[in-house]
Structure 1
């Protein structure tokens, strides 16, 4: 347990109330019965996506969001979020889930055709890595933020 009483590795479901202890929320005594959703529950126990997705890969919804209504809450939210093009990193942050979980969920949605993923193109001569110019621009942008 951490000093605040939360267990490490436990993520609060975005729709869960923030008051009460994790044990109360998990038992259903306060808030919704599924107030705490562990990452492995969201991914069905999988730890790797079916195909690799870069954190900067761009994701957009490929179909009408109404077709995603029968999916898990996280998968549905990804479809809603991706009506505007978003990166895998943005999806992870907006859903408040670990990056690995977001990658697995996005890969699943891509396999079903609900989202389209555009992987970044690296320079083939560099083994698919991003070009130095791009990395310099990112670094300069980060320095301006600091």
Structure 2
């Protein structure tokens, strides 16, 4: 049995509670859908990843994974998982997976573009 399988509900393998995992934040920076698929990114994060973030990246290295599946595997709420995933998208450790045959107006394409723009330009707002 893996550490993830033996962890109790509402805890990561390391035993951290949700408020510790998210640093007290209650909403993700990115609006991710439950079915948004993620893959390991090509960039290395500038700072070391926590245990929970490392677990998410490891899962996404195996194959594209939807947010809801990641939440189920790590046994954490979808909201907490979205916050961790959002941080990983910002760091470049994760990317939104886009199938080759996807339509240009598909929500995953729009999410990926938005994440890319935020990573490139930060929170710049138009006047």
TM class by smaller structure: 0.5 to 0.7
Higher relative contact order by CA 8 Å / sep ≥ 6: 1 or 2? 2
The separation in 1 between residues aligned to 2:87 and 2:51, in whole angstroms, is 14
Q: Report the RMSD for the aligned CA atoms in angstroms.
A: 2.4
Relative to the length of structure 2, the TM-score reads 0.63
Runs of 4+ off more than 4 Å: none
Corresponding position of 2:78? 99
For residues 116-143 of structure 1, what are the alpha-carbon distances to aligned partners after superposition, in whole Å with 9 as ceiling and x for unaligned? 0248925xxxxxxxxxxxxxxxxxxxxx
Segments of structure 1 that go 5 or more residues without pairing to the other structure are: 1-9, 16-34, 123-146
Q: SS of 2:26's equivalent?
A: coil
Corresponding position of 2:48? 70
- The one of 83, 86, 91 aligned to 1:112: 91
Cα drift, residue 13 of structure 1: 3.0
Structure 1 residues 11 and 116, CA gap change in structure 2 (3 angstroms):
same
Greater Cα radius of gyration, structure 1 or 2: 1
The separation in 1 between residues aligned to 2:41 and 2:12, in whole angstroms, is 25
Segments of structure 2 that go 5 or more residues without pairing to the other structure are: 1-8, 99-104, 108-127
Corresponding position of 2:66? 87
Q: SS of 1:116's equivalent?
A: strand
Aligned length: 91
The separation in 1 between residues aligned to 2:26 and 2:33, in whole angstroms, is 16
